[in-house]
Structure 1
Amino acid sequence: MIKKKDSRYFQEKQTLVASIDIGTNSTHLLVAEINQDLKSFSIKFTDKSTTRLGERDEEGNLTEESIQRALVTLKRFKEYCKSNGVNQIVTAATSAVREAPNGQDFVRRVLDETDIKIELISGSEEARLIYLGVLSGMAFEDQSYVIIDIGGGSTELILADKRDAIALTSAKVGAVRLKNDFLNKDPINIERSNFLTTFIQGSLEPSVRKIKSRSNGNKPLSMIATSGTATSLGNLILDDLGESKQKMHGYKFNRENLQNVLGKLIKMPVSQIKKIPSLSERRAEIIIPGALILNTSMEMLNFNELTISERSLREGLVVDWMLRKGIIKNELNIQSNIRKTTVVHQASKFGVDKKRSEKVIDIAFQIYDQTKNILHTDNDSKAKEFLWAASNLYNCGKYVNIGSYHKHSWYLIKNCELLGYSEAETNIIASIARYHRKTLPKKRHESWQNLISKEDKTLVLEMSLILRLAASLDQRPDKVISSVQIKLQGNIIKFELVPLNRNHDLLLEKWNLRLCGNVIKDLKNLDLKVI
């Protein structure tokens, strides 16, 4: 329940919350729109500036130059929020500010000059917020995860599952800190690389020991990496493998991929690394120490593969705000319906008629349940979940244009933010929507080429056929079909449409369903009979 004192935030139709993450290397802004009904949020705007607060004077204080960079950035962020109707700003400063002797002076100065109140958070609190951010954007299975966030001044390692954070740790080793303290010459030689690896191992040892002591040996364990280091390395690995550019959220790579890229980077001077298109100039300066931290962490924790999350501290600040305001009750509530919530949100954003979608889903599920080993071969209901998502979104292309809307639907689904779904799963959902009408897939179609495996293509063919049949029966705003009865007799598949009441002759529905006969014949070699 929303606390009474906080009800003012929700009196207007749109509730916007901004989070500002003041880090060692960069300062980030995120603006999120809160959906009270779905108990979720969507990201409306992001921005960042390289403020380099990790640059210190001889006494370890934040330099005046870095403070000025931060103030300019924060004033700009504040003006954006003010101009765009942001209701609340939540701000956190991490290792650079919390460790500096003049960190509190910086916090007071920001408040005086910008009216932004900064929360100076501890390493464990930073880890907790990172966990909340990752939790809001990935569907956790019934297992444990180690989350790693490599920042400029610290590295957070978190052991968690979908219910709670089991261990929250923070080590004083980060990409900027290593670069400033140890990397004055380039390219670095093998001796320097080995020294850095040993230093990182020593710095991470307490965190790793805590993670290992609290992990359940009988429970599967996977690694998730978040931060600019992880996403930058993901893009470099894509380039190294010759793969086409894709979203980093949900992207997986293994340690061998990482080591191949790291080996090449170490041999390059920074001036050459800065020429790599996917790296910003500042990221190029710290990518090697960041990669060394990630590689060492994977080795110490015995991980051969990890998954990238693009959500982290900034999103965690928004989730924490929602928890404090009573919009969501606990961490498990974030995870309970993450896939459902994101699909429903995207459908609403693109103006999909919810009532009609629910009708189509009902019919599609009736067809699915009655045609196992006839129209589909799904044994674990995984395809049914994709069918549900596609049935919610197949009409979203009408937001662009009614003509060829199935193609527009494919593009919108493929490029929108479907939290909890991997890129491969998003491509499946988009392709089911793409092929629910008109022609069947062709080799030249980008939507067909994007499907990774033969199994994925079979799934798309079968679920798009079911969606095609269900959508063909959606001819009126109101519900007129009570049920669909399906029987297989020889090579004839019979569909009997049962009206909701006797006044419905269902002529429109029967005529449109018969138009699907050629596709059923082509895909399943069955003749369609409509009763």
Structure 2
Amino acid sequence: MENALVENAVNIPSAAGSKNRIIAAVDIGTNSIHMVVVQIMPELPAFIIIEREKDTVRLGDRDPDTHNLKPEAMERAISTLHRCREVAKTLNAEQIIAVATSAVREAPNGRDFLKRIEAETGVVVDLISGQEEARRIYLGVLSGMEFNNQPHIIIDIGGGSTELILGDSHEPRSLSSTKVGAVRLSAEFITTDPISNSEFYYLQAYIRVMLERAVDELKANLKPGEFPRLVGTAGTIETLAMINAREKLGMIPNPLNGYQFSLKDLREMVNRFRKMDNSERATIPGMSDRRSEIILAGALILQEAMTLLGTETITICERSLREGVIVDWMLTHGLIEDRLRYQGSVRERSVFKTAQKYRVDLAHSQRVAEFAVSIFDQTQGKLHNWRDLERELLWAGAILHNSGHYVSHSAHHKHSYYLIRYSELLGYTESEIELIANLARYHRKSTPKKKHENYRNLPTKEYRQMVCHLSAFLRIAVALDRRQIGAINRLECEYLSEVGEFHLKLFPSFPDDDCALELWSLNYKKDAFEAEYNLKLVAQLEPNAVNVSLR
């Protein structure tokens, strides 16, 4: 099977003088923490996996009363992350990209836990939504399996959630994340060992009901006559494949990628597991770690999904979320130009989709975004040292700054914050969404203050500084389109450090327009910029307009 982004080092030609980079990706899941360390070969583009680490920490085994992550689980996780960091350091990884999913996302103390991880290990962890998790799983599978432009369904059964994805080498047609996972269901529904008939049938019915909506949505995106192949990934499905292979073939294929087993085989395994207690399941050849405790729930999820989807076989792909994190990093750093190119604009499309959902005036927002980005570009290296990523986040905040009008004109900047914060912005981490929402929140009225909960929710001091710096640009940009008619065509910035002034040359779109309202608005909004950069802002219209200066 041909790989989209090749893994086998033997098959990768070396390029003299190429600068191969080593990156580590960590997936902090509900059941386990996984890390891959890869060597990226940008000239192909491709990557090879040079090291894997895994530890079962069971973050999903939360306190039944408070639903908080348990102290002992957090300790196990931090110990594992210390080890991951040392392994990555030993292999000269230039960066560790870490993401957390269902268990941390849902726990009331999840964000505090992420802050503790950063404080104790130095690893910064991004919290990602269920849909974003599904998108990166899709990228990971595409990096290890050739779809040949044919529709494929991907199922990833984790500890806390199950992702279902429909795609065909191009943009995913359907992305869903459902709160049925092997750890979650085992903890919530199984109290007998072996499982009683009543618990088994209740669990089966619950899984089916929970999966039906996601399956229906996926099927609605299939074209007439399409019969997609089902691809399974992650620990539960790989364990089932290894047990099946050992029993059918007498050995476990290496790699497991491409191995298939049937729904008939799966049903036989489920029936066998339900009659065993945990100690008996643990002795099954191929059963790994503490998988015996959760394998029945995981196998039942897969059985019901295959039944609802009407598929008789499943094919294994050993790549999943962590490899998708690597692919996403390559995309955002411009290392993949052709293959999967559509993913490079997923963030932009997601922002526009959200803007459309909340009936944002796109013509106005795009003008505001152009002004904000123009100020950013002209002042880079002079007033600030932010990079392309921050530029993109400023653009997103500018496009969505008026989302709150969808709720009410009054205090719409506050409504914008909540609408953006709880939207599914694909391609962005939770921290980045928080930052975009804060930028929109501070495009008018009060400047950022520590007493504001949304400002305190920003993960680091750097993020808070970013909001202060960039929201000042956004305020100016909003002022320059006060009438929302495109009165200002373009602007030029001049930084006069010797006199402590920042000059804005404004070029009007209409020769006889004095842009009085825009200049008034700019005068009203300039205080935040002047306070943030300790500069006096001076603006004037250029030829063909009345020269009005801010003093």
Give TM class, smaller chain.
0.5 to 0.7
Q: Is it true that 1:306 corresponds to 2:308 in the alignment?
A: no
- State how 1:142-157 maps to structure 2 within 5 Å: 142-157=149-164
- The residue type paired with residue 301 of structure 2 is I
- The residue type paired with residue 183 of structure 1 is I
- Give the drift of 1:73: 0.7
Q: d(CA) in 1 for partners of 2:105 and 2:219?
A: 27
- Give the drift of 1:29: 0.8
- Give the drift of 1:334: 10
- State how 1:273-288 maps to structure 2 within 5 Å: 273-288=281-296
- The residue type paired with residue 139 of structure 1 is E
- State how 1:62-73 maps to structure 2 within 5 Å: 62-73=69-80
- The residue type paired with residue 128 of structure 2 is I
Residue 246 of structure 2, aligned match among 236, 239, 249: 239
- State how 1:366-377 maps to structure 2 within 5 Å: none
Q: Does the CA-based 8 Å contact 1:240-1:261 persist in structure 2?
A: no
- The residue type paired with residue 23 of structure 2 is V
Residue 49 of structure 1, aligned match among 51, 55, 63: 55
Give the corresponding residue for 2:87: 80
Residue 297 of structure 2, aligned match among 283, 289, 304: 289
Q: d(CA) in 2 for partners of 1:158 and 1:119?
A: 22
- Give the drift of 1:11: 9.4
- The residue type paired with residue 267 of structure 1 is K
Q: Does the CA-based 8 Å contact 1:132-1:331 persist in structure 2?
A: no
Give the corresponding residue for 2:260: 252
- Give the drift of 1:241: 2.3
Q: Judge which range, 18-27 or 81-90, deviates more.
A: 81-90
In structure 2, relative to structure 1, the CA distance for the partners of 1:236 and 1:334 (3 Å cut) is: farther
Q: Is it true that 1:328 corresponds to 2:344 in the alignment?
A: no
- State how 1:13-52 maps to structure 2 within 5 Å: 13-52=19-58
Residue 145 of structure 2, aligned match among 135, 138, 147: 138
- Give the drift of 1:191: 2.7
Q: Does the CA-based 8 Å contact 1:169-1:207 persist in structure 2?
A: yes
- Give the drift of 1:78: 0.9
Secondary structure at the counterpart of residue 68 of structure 2: coil
Q: Does the CA-based 8 Å contact 2:101-2:127 persist in structure 1?
A: yes
For the aligned residue pairs, the C-alpha RMSD in angstroms reads 1.8
- The residue type paired with residue 329 of structure 2 is W
Secondary structure at the counterpart of residue 28 of structure 1: strand
Q: Does the CA-based 8 Å contact 2:243-2:285 persist in structure 1?
A: no
Q: Does the CA-based 8 Å contact 2:19-2:41 persist in structure 1?
A: no
In structure 2, relative to structure 1, the CA distance for the partners of 1:39 and 1:245 (3 Å cut) is: same
Residue 123 of structure 1, aligned match among 125, 130, 133: 130
- The residue type paired with residue 18 of structure 1 is A
- Give the drift of 1:89: 1.0
In structure 2, relative to structure 1, the CA distance for the partners of 1:11 and 1:121 (3 Å cut) is: farther
- The residue type paired with residue 45 of structure 2 is K
Q: Deviations over 1:54-76 (max 9, x none)?
A: 11112100011111111111111
Give the corresponding residue for 2:112: 105
Q: Does the CA-based 8 Å contact 1:323-1:330 persist in structure 2?
A: no
Q: Is it true that 1:221 corresponds to 2:228 in the alignment?
A: yes
Q: Is it true that 1:192 corresponds to 2:206 in the alignment?
A: no
Q: d(CA) in 2 for partners of 1:222 and 1:23?
A: 26
Q: Is it true that 1:175 corresponds to 2:164 in the alignment?
A: no
- Give the drift of 1:330: 5.7
Aligned pair count reads 326
Q: d(CA) in 1 for partners of 2:328 and 2:339?
A: 9
Secondary structure at the counterpart of residue 165 of structure 1: coil
In structure 2, relative to structure 1, the CA distance for the partners of 1:334 and 1:310 (3 Å cut) is: farther
- State how 1:429-468 maps to structure 2 within 5 Å: none
User: Sequence identity, in percent?
Assistant: 44
- State how 1:202-217 maps to structure 2 within 5 Å: 202-217=209-224
- The residue type paired with residue 213 of structure 1 is A
Q: Does the CA-based 8 Å contact 2:170-2:342 persist in structure 1?
A: no
Secondary structure at the counterpart of residue 153 of structure 1: coil
TM-score (normalizing by structure 2): 0.57
Q: Judge which range, 291-300 or 136-145, deviates more.
A: 136-145
Q: Is it true that 1:267 corresponds to 2:267 in the alignment?
A: no
Q: d(CA) in 1 for partners of 2:42 and 2:245?
A: 38
Q: Does the CA-based 8 Å contact 1:26-1:50 persist in structure 2?
A: yes
Q: Deviations over 1:404-428 (max 9, x none)?
A: xxxxxxxxxxxxxxxxxxxxxxxxx
Q: d(CA) in 2 for partners of 1:275 and 1:144?
A: 38
- The residue type paired with residue 188 of structure 2 is D
Q: Deviations over 1:471-492 (max 9, x none)?
A: xxxxxxxxxxxxxxxxxxxxxx
Q: d(CA) in 2 for partners of 1:278 and 1:24?
A: 21
Q: d(CA) in 1 for partners of 2:133 and 2:75?
A: 24
- Give the drift of 1:265: 1.2
- The residue type paired with residue 49 of structure 1 is D
Q: d(CA) in 2 for partners of 1:316 and 1:152?
A: 18
Secondary structure at the counterpart of residue 319 of structure 2: coil
Which residues of structure 2 form unaligned runs of 5+? 1-15, 344-551
Q: d(CA) in 1 for partners of 2:342 and 2:248?
A: 35
- The residue type paired with residue 238 of structure 2 is T
- Give the drift of 1:132: 0.2
In structure 2, relative to structure 1, the CA distance for the partners of 1:121 and 1:82 (3 Å cut) is: same
Q: Does the CA-based 8 Å contact 1:129-1:316 persist in structure 2?
A: yes
Q: Deviations over 1:443-477 (max 9, x none)?
A: xxxxxxxxxxxxxxxxxxxxxxxxxxxxxxxxxxx
Q: d(CA) in 2 for partners of 1:133 and 1:29?
A: 14
Give the corresponding residue for 2:424: none
Q: d(CA) in 1 for partners of 2:340 and 2:104?
A: 32
Q: d(CA) in 2 for partners of 1:167 and 1:21?
A: 22
